[in-house]
Structure 1
């Protein structure tokens, strides 16, 4: 016999169930070091409720798959289940994962096959650098990968006000990369850590395996054109870059890549570990000079301040590094010197907003 709760109208039950829905863990972990636990969550309220009865399973399942996770090695079974269960219209965000470094990085058919059936407004990819590069039609120079030992990076693409799936057919076969499939408005990139490279002599000559770095090389004035950068970058209004102690010359390439984003309004950058991340202490057991990463970070912020002020489309800059007591005052002074006299004001040091127009 159904319980009193189960006898309520489905519309009311659905409203009650909505209070159990939470943000996907991938959003909370976007600034943390990329690992295979990127989508793991302690909160399993919806899953537990779905196990209580078939009625609740039918009601909960669409919310469970609003934020779907696809292991690329299990692509066929994932799509078969989504289609068989009638869930395709509920998937609004998708996290695609491959942690297999030996997987063929040139096999990029997955996004064509998946987007033929799904139309998520947000796509997040957790994968090795070469896989992400090929997915974006940007082959990566990975000759120095041994120095960095970067196993995984995270790319997130998002678009605002997407059209319903049935109203926007995609010519997927003519899309050169995942970037071409939609007019994305937001991009976030977690490059992982460069700390291991500091243990090597003349570390600053090493080149980070990074799709953003490749774009910066393409757009640097002294470099001849070598890439056909996708036009979809022109529509980005938000860009977030996360890394752990990248070299300042690499940060310069990241900033050069902003030239492909003329509509960019908000820039967010984090170049140091989170407060509860002890990666610095771990790497200092090697031969690195512990002062080097901090000097690179300070120099990077000098470049960032100059670029933020010079990019006329920007109205807001956010720093994710003011949680570190040891460098807060230095970073504050660097940004104050670059932005304080140029029509920018900060809120609690970490968010800077342009308050005067640039003509």
Structure 2
């Protein structure tokens, strides 16, 4: 005699799919993009969808498209990932992709990995977690890394987004001649987590050091015309003009580096919203840890304050900008100082502050 059928199994597929939708949660990566870049970004304690797939083969078939709306790719395993996605007919269900790569192992990942992946996937969001030099190669921008040893930045996080209807693989364009992930799709939103510069404060004349960063290269080469050691291999002005949203996260960047980053942001002529975070996230104790060394504890905070005055001047310059967000007002010790700095710089420029770190242009 066959086992009794669960009442759940008696429901039509349409109702089951609706029930499954309530178990689908926001991927953990969405809420951690401002935290220290980590390969644990995709770890989630919630496994409701995975547990449901174990109930029956029918539920497995219905849950799988939901389960693979958001996928993670270890770039050393792209071939197996490709085989699974295609054989399981999941390409059109993938809305976001987190790619994890490196260029320091015995088997370095290919920085042009996205040429292959975007032949069978068409996500609206791509997150890349990798060392600075790897992200630079992925974007067709060689990174100046002569001072990398001072910063000890292991990983950075790049996020690209756009509005899209996911297409089938046979409709996707060839990218063989494309040299930058930024040119692979019409991305309109970009976020970059540069990681922390705190370790460099232990060194004498730290402010003379160059942060390994794509934004530093873009700013130096495209706007200021100062350091010309590395030339971008792509037409950045043409690519940056599509961006309408940009978010910059770093922990205590030097003010002179912040200026170079802002020069790169000025190269985004159609930017409508800018988000900035320069202090550690709540619960991050990196400052206390680094202060055990020879670092002057006042230096990072002075650099942060000066950086925000530069941010304010840049916000006023950008005629296309309609919204600016300072995401550091959670630090009570500097809240009043930041508000004073920003209000002095942009308070008379036609901007209205909501009291919570958001300025909107009238």
TM-score by length of 1: 0.95
**1:138 matched to 2:145:** no
Matched with 2:76 is 73
CA distance in 2, matches of 1:222, 1:112: 31
> In structure 2, how many angstroms separate the alpha carbons of the residues matched to 1:294 and 1:59?
52
CA contact (8 A) 1:218 1:224 kept: yes
Aligned with residue 199 of structure 2, among 196, 200, 206: 196
Q: Distance in 1 between matches of 2:279 and 2:200?
A: 15
Is there any run of 5+ residues in structure 2 with no aligned partner, and where? none
1:292-303 pair list within 5 angstroms: 292-303=299-310
1:341 aligns with: 348
Q: Distance in 1 between matches of 2:168 and 2:55?
A: 32
2-structure distance, mates of 1:88, 1:161: 14
* Cα offset, 1:145, TM superposition: 0.4
Distance 1:88 1:163 in 2: 9
- Within the candidate set 69, 75, 84, 2:87 is matched to 84
Q: Is the 8 A contact 1:89 1:118 kept in 2?
A: yes
Contact 1:97/1:127 (8 A) holds in 2:
yes
Residue of structure 2 in register with 1:247 after alignment = 254
* Structure 1 stretch displaced more, 24-33 or 213-222: 213-222
Q: Structure 1 residues 165 and 185, CA, compared in 2 at 3 Å: closer, same or farther?
A: farther
Aligned partners of 1:34 and 1:190 also within 8 Å = yes
Alignment partner, residue 132 of structure 2: 129
Cα offset for 1:56?
1.2
Of stretches 106-115 and 199-208 in structure 1, the one that deviates more from structure 2 is 106-115
What are the Cα deviations for residues 125-153 of structure 1, in whole angstroms up to 9, with x where unaligned?
00011000001000001010000000000
CA RMSD of aligned residues (A): 1.6
The residue that corresponds to 2:122 in the other structure is 119
1:106-255 correspondence to structure 2 within 5 Å: 107-162=110-165, 164-165=167-168, 169-223=172-226, 226-227=231-232, 228-230=234-236, 231-255=238-262
- Say whether 1:287 aligns with 2:290: no
Instruction: Note if contact 1:36-1:99 (Cα within 8 Å) is conserved in structure 2.
Output: no
Q: Measure the CA separation in 2 of the matches of 1:103 and 1:265.
A: 43
Structure 1 unaligned regions, length at least 5: none
The equivalent residue for 2:360 is: 353
CA distance in 2, matches of 1:335, 1:165: 47
Displacement, 1:36?
1.5
Q: CA deviation at 1:232?
A: 2.1
Which of 272, 275, 280 is matched with 1:268 structurally?
275
CA distance in 1, matches of 2:314, 2:360: 14
Matched, 1:28 2:35: no
Moved more, 206-215 or 104-113: 104-113
Q: Quote how far apart the aligned CAs of 1:175 are.
A: 0.6
Does the 8 Å contact 2:70/2:94 carry over to 1? yes
Judge which range, 299-308 or 55-64, deviates more: 55-64
Instruction: Give CA-to-partner distance per residue, 1:311-348, whole Å, 9 cap, x none.
Output: 10100001110000000000000010011111101112
2:91–2:168 Cα contact (<8 Å) kept:
no
Q: CA deviation at 1:259?
A: 2.6
Show the counterpart of 1:309. Answer: 316
**Residues 89 and 4 from structure 1, CA distance in 2 versus in 1: closer, same or farther, beyond 3 angstroms?**
same
Supply the distance in 1 between the matched residues of 2:126 and 2:115 (Cα, whole angstroms): 13
